Amino acid sequence: MVATPDWPAPPPLLKAGERNLVLGVAGVFLLLFGLGWWRFGAVVSVPAAALALALLLGLLLAGARRQRQALDEQLRQIQSLLYLQQQLKPSLPLPLFERAALFPDAAAVLFGLMRERRPRQVLELGSGFSTLIVAYGLRDGGGGRVWSLEHDPHYARLTRELLRRHGVADYARVIDAPLVELRVGGRKHRWYDPQALEAIESPLDLLLVDGPPRRTQPLARYPALPLLAGKLSPAAVVFVDDSRRRDEREMLRRWLDEFGDWEVRHIPCAEGLSLLRRGPPPQGTL
């Protein structure tokens, strides 16, 4: 049985700004209509009513289009969730999805990447559902280890328990890594304690960048490649979640400027997903 995802409610037919616009236009309309009636009589009612109806119809159509897009997106996420359930064959239902977690479409791409490239050494920045996906991929691929750096002790315990309950804890190690102040790229960053990297074997075949949280500071995830590029194998892939966000777009731009031998491929997912690797990717590969 597939766990029912906790999707956000569909968007309202009119956004707050659009509702305010409707109220504002209605107020102006009533004022002008009153002045026009006083000056020209009932003849002004026909064009005024036509203009008001046209504006209202346009706003309603825009809201209906947004709802349709939201429905299509939810359908895509459900299809991705069913794909994961079929491919992983988990011993327990998959956990409920939250907005902070890796979305099902990105998780499906991640599992496909695991199946295709069969990495052995994986480092993940930020633990959670993605840790479970990688651990299943390592199990199905014949072995390996994922190290997951987690700054929140409570969330680290939840991830360890999730791995244990699914029977894949042997393929993963969640490391408590508090955020400390580092200087990277000429500016201060709060990033994972470098001492947590000492237990990680290299070279790494896959790097997942899904932390620290963006609320930490602007460009919170920027230090990942500058600090870890030397630990990556020549054929390593860097998996960047949430790449539609402004900070992640700027982070990718800086990485490509600073590391000239890396190339990026953007994959359409709900929250955005980008894959980086050295040189052009071989044809037919993710």
Residue 144 is encoded by which pair of tokens? 């390996």
The verdict on 27 and 117 lying in the same domain is no
Distance CA 8, CA 65 (A): 17
Single-letter code of the amino acid located at 155: Y
Alpha helices in the chain (DSSP H): 16-40, 45-88, 104-117, 129-141, 153-165, 224-228, 246-258
- Separation of first and last alpha carbons in the chain: 30
Q: How confident is the model at residue 48 (pLDDT cuts 50, 70, 90)?
A: low
Predicted pLDDT at 194: 92
Which of 64, 85, 106 delimits the end of a domain?
85
Q: Give the residue carrying structure tokens 């990026």.
A: 264
Answer whether residue 177 is part of any domain: yes
The verdict on 38 and 123 lying in the same domain is no
Predicted pLDDT at 10: 46
Distance CA 69, CA 75 (A): 10
The verdict on 76 and 106 lying in the same domain is no
Average pLDDT rounded to a whole number, residues 80-95: 83
Q: Which range, 67-76, 83-92, 146-155, is most confident?
A: 146-155
Single-letter code of the amino acid located at 70: A
Distance CA 222, CA 209 (A): 9
Distance CA 13, CA 246 (A): 26
Predicted pLDDT at 19: 65
Answer whether 231's CB lies under 8 Å from 123's CB. Answer: yes
Q: Is pLDDT of 251 > 90?
A: yes
The verdict on 79 and 193 lying in the same domain is no
Answer whether residue 4 is part of any domain: no
The verdict on 255 and 140 lying in the same domain is yes
The verdict on 112 and 165 lying in the same domain is yes
The verdict on 175 and 236 lying in the same domain is yes
Residue 207 is encoded by which pair of tokens? 């790097």
Answer whether residue 191 is part of any domain: yes
The verdict on 23 and 123 lying in the same domain is no
Answer whether residue 283 is part of any domain: no
Q: The domain spanning residue 118 has which CATH number? A: 3.40.50.150
Answer whether residue 284 is part of any domain: no
Answer whether 103's CB lies under 8 Å from 210's CB. Answer: no
Predicted pLDDT at 177: 96
- Angle of helix 45-88 relative to helix 104-117, nearest 10 degrees? 40
Q: How confident is the model at residue 46 (pLDDT cuts 50, 70, 90)?
A: low
Predicted pLDDT at 32: 66
Domains held by the chain: number:
2
Which of 39, 65, 85 delimits the end of a domain?
85
The verdict on 142 and 175 lying in the same domain is yes
**Extended strands (E) in 213-269:** 232-241, 262-267
pLDDT for 17-45, tens place per residue? 666 766 676 676 667 667 666 666 665 56
Please state the pTM of the whole predicted model. 0.76
Answer whether residue 201 is part of any domain: yes
Answer whether residue 11 is part of any domain: no
Predicted pLDDT at 161: 95
159: helix, coil or strand?
Answer: helix
pLDDT for 177-224, tens place per residue? 999 999 998 889 999 999 999 888 889 999 999 999 988 899 999 999
Between residues 48 and 148, the one the model is more confident about: 148
In this structure, what DSSP letter does residue 120 have?
S
| 82-86, 121-125, 135-139: least confidently modelled range | 82-86
Average pLDDT rounded to a whole number, residues 97-102: 68
The verdict on 58 and 178 lying in the same domain is no
The verdict on 182 and 134 lying in the same domain is yes
The verdict on 58 and 106 lying in the same domain is no
Among the listed residues 207, 240, 227, the one whose alpha carbon sits nearest the alpha carbon of residue 117: 207
Average pLDDT rounded to a whole number, residues 54-74: 71
Predicted pLDDT at 131: 95
In this structure, what DSSP letter does residue 6 have?
-
pLDDT for 135-189, tens place per residue? 999 999 989 999 999 999 999 999 999 999 999 999 999 999 999 999 998 889 9
Which of 55, 85, 115 delimits the end of a domain?
85
- Whole-angstrom CA distances from 132 to 7, 61, 166, 222 are 20, 41, 8, 24
Q: How confident is the model at residue 52 (pLDDT cuts 50, 70, 90)?
A: low
- Whole-angstrom CA distances from 138 to 2, 42, 111, 147, 235 are 22, 76, 10, 12, 17
Residue 133 is encoded by which pair of tokens? 């996906």
List the Cα angle 182/148/259 in 5-degree steps: 55
Q: Is pLDDT of 16 > 80?
A: no
Answer whether residue 8 is part of any domain: no
Domain limits at 62? 16-85
